[in-house]
Amino acid sequence: MATTVDQIQPSIVLPACMDVVACGPIATTVLKQLNSQTRIGIDASALERVSTPGVQLLMSAIKTAENDGKRLVVLWASPALMQAVNDLGLSQHFHPYLDNRKAIQ
């Protein structure tokens, strides 16, 4: 049975800033999830500042999951994340992995 985004809940919550300094600890967390889960949801709703390394990390995680037969979805992408993705010209590559359903409050 195919996995739908409705079945994926956030297992990683990103901080407000995803710059080169923040990427190290985030990458460690993502790798742990990729090694132990088949469906990974990343809550990106709190992101206020995203640099190029942050977008690269997310795209790398998405492709790694895909290559390993797993599913990674970015949940509730913030405007800052979407702007960074657009600025880098990656919208068409990133869009299939987005799920912008409303966060449960």
- 38 lies in a domain? yes
pLDDT in tens, 6-48: 568 888 999 999 999 999 999 999 999 999 999 999 999 999 9
Q: pLDDT grade, residue 105 (50/70/90)?
A: very low
Cβ atoms 27, 58 nearer than 8 A: no
- 90 lies in a domain? yes
**Residue in this structure with the two tokens 């985004």, named with its chain if needed:** 5
pLDDT in tens, 54-95: 999 999 999 999 999 999 999 999 999 999 999 999 999 998
Q: What is the pLDDT of residue 1?
A: 39
Three-state SS for 44?
Answer: coil
Query: How many domains does the chain contain in total?
Result: 1
CA distance 65 to 72: 6
Q: Could you say which DSSP state residue 76 is in?
A: S
Q: Is the model's pLDDT at 2 over the cut of 60? A: no
- 3 lies in a domain? no
Q: Which residues lie below 8 Å from residue 105, measured CB to CB, with a gap of 6+?
A: none
- 4 lies in a domain? no
